[in-house]
Amino acid sequence: MAAQVSTELEITEDRFWVYRRKLRDFWKLYRRSVLGRIGLVIVLSFVTVAIAAPWIAPYDPFAFVGDPFLKPSPSHILGTDQVGRDIFSRVIYGTRISLLVGLVASAMTIGLGTVIGLVSGYLGGSVDNLLMRVTDLFIILPALPLMLIMASILGKGIINIIIVISVIGWTATARMVRSQTLSLKERPFTEASRAIGSTDLHTIGRHIVPNVFPLVFANGMIAIVDAVLSEAGLSFLGFGDPSSPSWGMVLYFADRAGATVNGYWWYIVPPGLCIMFLVMGFAFISYSTDQILNPRLRRR
Amino acid sequence: MRDYLVKRGVSALITLALALVLNFFLFRIMPGDPTRTVVGDFRVTPEIKQALVHQFGLDQPLWVQFVLYLQNLFVGNLGVSFQYRGTPVTSIIFGRRLFNTFILMGSSMGVALIIGVIIGTIAAWKRESKFDIGAVVFSLVTYSMPVFWLGMMIILVFGYYLDWIPIAGTITVGMTYSNVFEYAADYLYHMTGPFVTLTLSFLGFYFLIMRDSILDVFTEDYMLTAKAKGLSDRKILFRHAMRNAMLPMVSLLAVEVTYLFGGATMTETVFSWYGIGRLIYEAVVMADYPVLQGIFVVMSVLVITANFCADIVYAFLDPRIRY
């Protein structure tokens, strides 16, 4: 019994070192990419702002701290909105919501897509057929109208925005995971695993998931990009929750206040730039990750 | 070839069936009375309500409703709108709005495609040159901008500060036109803002796909053959590389057809463009479910047909494809 425990431990330890080495190799390649480094810096800066929001923001984002429509001044760097809330503080706090929704929604998208892709690819047959037709449908239908229709059925709120984004967005991941699973299923090591009597769950978890993970990860970065942009769009159209304002929500209020036709640039430009830079950060990371992990691109 | 066609046709039909089923149940999973979303709205008069309940079998079991829904769909009856007090959905969708969306989307997508293909080809050829890096960064920047924000910025700069473009609408309200050209001029003048917004937002995407596709083609053996034959760079690039790289664009365009119809909801909303995209937004805000359902159906049929056509074209263009 004792001997067996130590073997188990040895295997675990062995795996730990393998993963560590792989991670280090990845980091070595990643570090060489200029875009990748820029992206990482941008994203980490936003994460810092999100965590340190209470210390950076001069005012409570919900408090009425001045007259409505104040122009930028030393006491209100970006002026105040239509009810006298400090716009700068609202943008700072908006980082939290935008980042959080982006991360959670993309994690759910990726999770859903991976599970469906694995099931579809591993089981094959009519299950696979049906799931792939559903994927077809979701891939070719335009995302935004579909999201709007779903959002109108589910109602407003952050949770519903997250649900809408992940239900509409899982298909790309599912397709990719499925095609990987199909090819991995036929490899000798999976066959060997089945031959020694492993359960399907074990074969999937031990031999297929670790091999699709790199691609899922690269895909996950682009899923964050989509999620952040979708959240901004849905919030801008008024599906957000006023009690947890994101950047898209700030722009929604800006639009309501007629910021464009009155020339309140300080109300429109900053939240938009924030969305743009955050998306760009993740897009750069995704681009460099893809260059390293995608074998099709490495060849060039 | 025939087997391939039949196979694609069957899978297109299955996808369509799924879309119709989804459309039926999506609007019936809402809490409360399921008929509410079809007729149960105060904006619809009792007489019309009566007729609709009969037409769609709303007092009957769900499966009867489903059969009637399909039957009505087949003869082009999509129900009536709530916000327009009983106007048939078909006449709302297939009218002025569709025309406006078609013109706006068609022109901006066309222009973006042409520019994107040309710049993409050049950038891939001069890979990692200043031009290439500049174009990639530009497209990443436009890709990262939310479209609605780009539209707002264009209104702010060109509408508010420079006063070059109108800030909203499709035509000047209350204006009378002496001839059709005056009307067209006013129309195009109003289209400038949304046109530029959409062209910029599509451009980066087309460019990146084309560039990627050309880079892929460069790794093919026939490129080496072309070079070995002693063909000039120009000939290799435009005769061999560009032609083959256009293949992925075919399937891309099929997907883009949806935008021709579904429009850019964001852009149309920001610029108050009287099109289908804004109709979707309005219908969502006004809880006009029949209109949404109608749009979903038309959109699905259109997209699935377009994709099927693209598959066929693709097979003709690329003889290597024989699934």
* pLDDT at residue number A229: 92
Cβ–Cβ < 8 Å for A56, A49: yes
Q: Report CB contact under 8 Å: B215, A268.
A: no
Is A148 close to B284, i.e. CB distance below 8 A? yes
For residue A28, pLDDT beyond 60: yes
The pLDDT assigned to B321 comes to 60
A9: contact with B, CB 8 A cutoff? no
Q: Which residue of B has its CA nearest to A129?
A: B11
pLDDT value at residue A24 = 86
Q: Do the Cβ atoms of A260 and B219 come within 8 Å?
A: no
Round to whole Å and give the CA distance between A64 and A67.
8
| Helix orientation angle between B242-262 and B180-218, rounded to the nearest 10 degrees | 140
- CB < 8 Å from B in window 256-285 of A: 259-263, 265, 268-269, 272, 275-277, 279-280, 283-284
pLDDT tens digits, one per residue of B12-44 = 888 888 888 888 887 776 654 545 555 556 667
Q: What is the pLDDT at residue A205?
A: 81
Interface contact B146-A145, CB threshold 8 A: no
pLDDT tens-digit profile of A173-217? 898 899 888 888 888 888 888 888 888 888 888 888 888 888 888
Whether A141 has its CB under 8 Å from any CB of chain B: the answer is yes
Say which of A133, A146, A148 has its CB closest to residue B11: A133
Asked if residue B141 has pLDDT above 50, the reply is: yes
CB B170 within 8 A of CB B190: yes
Taking CB atoms and an 8 Å cutoff, what residues of chain A touch B146?
229, 232-233, 236, 248, 272, 275-276
Mean pLDDT confidence for A92-116: 93
Of the candidate ranges A46-50, A59-63, A228-232, the one whose mean pLDDT is the lowest: A59-63
* A5 pLDDT more than 70: no
Written as six digits, the tokens of A174 are: 């599912």
Check A261 against B167: CB less than 8 A apart: yes
Return d(Cα A28, Cα A22) in angstroms, integer: 10
Q: Measured between alpha carbons, how far is A242 from A157 in angstroms, rounded to an integer?
A: 8
Distance (Å, rounded) from C-alpha B205 to C-alpha B149? 17
Closest-CA residue of A relative to B127 is A300
- Identity at A164, one-letter amino acid code: V
Amino acid at B301: V
Q: From B38, B232, B205, B52, select the one nearest B136 (Cα to Cα).
A: B205
Q: How far is B216 from chain A (nearest CA, A)?
A: 8
Question: How much is the pLDDT for A1?
Answer: 44
Rounded average pLDDT over B101-116? 91
Mean pLDDT of B270-292: 87
CA distance A108 to A114: 10
The span from the CA of A178 to the CA of B293, in Å, is 31
How high is the pLDDT of residue B35?
57
For B170-199, letters b (16+ CB in 10 Å) and e give: bbeeeeeeeeeeeeeebeeebbbbbbbbbb
Residue B150 pLDDT > 90, yes or no?
yes
Pick B207 or B182 by higher pLDDT. B207
Contact B321, B314 (CB under 8 A): yes
Per CB-CB distance under 8 Å, the chain B contacts of A279 are: 143-145
Interface check for A248 against chain B (CB to CB < 8 A): the answer is yes
Residues of A in contact with B258 (CB under 8 A): 140-142
Choosing among B152, B286, B295, B303, which should be mutated to test the A contact, i.e. which has the most A CBs within 10 A?
B152
Q: What angle do CA A202, A208, A212 make, to 5 degrees?
A: 145
Q: Out of A152, A236, A255, whose CB is closest to B284?
A: A152
CB-based contact B148 A236, cutoff 8 Å: yes
Report the mean per-residue pLDDT for chain B: 82
Helix, strand or coil for residue B80?
strand
A238 and B CB contact within 8 Å: yes
Average pLDDT of span A146-169: 87
pLDDT in tens, A107-151: 999 999 999 999 998 888 888 888 888 888 888 787 888 888 888
Radius of gyration, CA atoms only, chain B: 24
Candidate from A159-173, A250-264, B239-253, B291-305 with smallest mean pLDDT: B239-253
Burial (CB count <10 Å: 0-12, 13-18, 19+), residue B138: middle
Q: Which of A60, A105, A109 is nearest to A87 (CA)?
A: A60
Q: Which of B30, B155, B215 sits opposite A153 (nearest CB)?
A: B30
Res. A260 pLDDT band, cuts 50 70 90? confident
pLDDT > 90: what percent of chain A? 30
Q: Is the pLDDT reported for residue A4 higher than 70? A: no
Q: Kindly state the average pLDDT of the residues B304-317.
A: 83
Out of A146, A148, A153, closest to residue B281 by CB? A148
Rounded Cα gap, residues A129 and A126, in angstroms: 5
Q: Distance between CA atoms of B80 and B38, rounded to whole angstroms?
A: 8
Residue A259 with chain B: CB contacts under 8 Å:
152, 156
B179 CA: distance to closest CA in chain A (Å): 31
Q: Which long-range contacts (CB under 8 A, 24 or more apart) does A82-88 make?
A: A82/A253, A82/A256, A82/A257, A85/A59, A85/A61, A86/A57, A86/A58, A86/A59, A86/A61, A87/A250, A87/A266, A87/A267, A87/A270, A88/A57, A88/A58, A88/A59, A88/A270
Tens of pLDDT, residue by residue over B43-92, are: 677 777 777 777 777 777 778 888 888 888 888 777 777 777 778 888 88
What's the confidence (pLDDT) of residue A80? 84
Q: How far apart are CA A99 and CA A162, in angstroms?
A: 12
Q: pLDDT at position B262, please?
A: 66
Minimum CA–CA partner of B255 in chain A: A140
